[in-house]
Amino acid sequence: MAGRKLARQTLDYQTVLDEIERMEKAGTPQAADKLARLDALLDSEAFQREAREIERMAVALAGVIERLNAEVPATDDEAARAPARGRAMHRTCA
């Protein structure tokens, strides 16, 4: 959820920046107005609250990943499959 929310917010922000860049290149006066609205949005309490929530979720997700990595030791895929094949062969031969 945090990843999707962050990706959506980043995409929205980048879309607005791209639009402003096109307006500036075209020399339209709307570019300055749009940039001012974007600045106001970034300073808004709602935006700041959502940014803090995304940060909190990202930190929590990183903690979960670290705990999972600590609980499950990294193994080589081939080494992990070899014991399973050995057990399967042992069962079929017995």
Q: pTM for this one?
A: 0.48
State the Cα–Cα distance between residues 84 and 86, nearest whole angstrom. Answer: 5
Per-residue pLDDT reduced to its tens digit, 14-66: 887 888 888 888 888 787 887 788 888 888 888 888 888 888 888 888 898 89
Q: For residue 49, give its domain range.
A: 2-93
Write out pLDDT tens, residues 4-14. 777 787 788 78
Domain count, the chain: 1
Residues 66, 55: Cα–Cα separation, whole Å: 16
Residue with tokens 């096109």: 22
Residue 84 C-beta-side C-alpha neighbours within 13 Å: 5
Which pLDDT value is given to residue 41? 82
C-alpha pair distances (Å), 25 with each of 18, 19, 30, 32? 11, 10, 12, 12
- Model confidence band, residue 88 (pLDDT cutoffs 50, 70, 90): very low
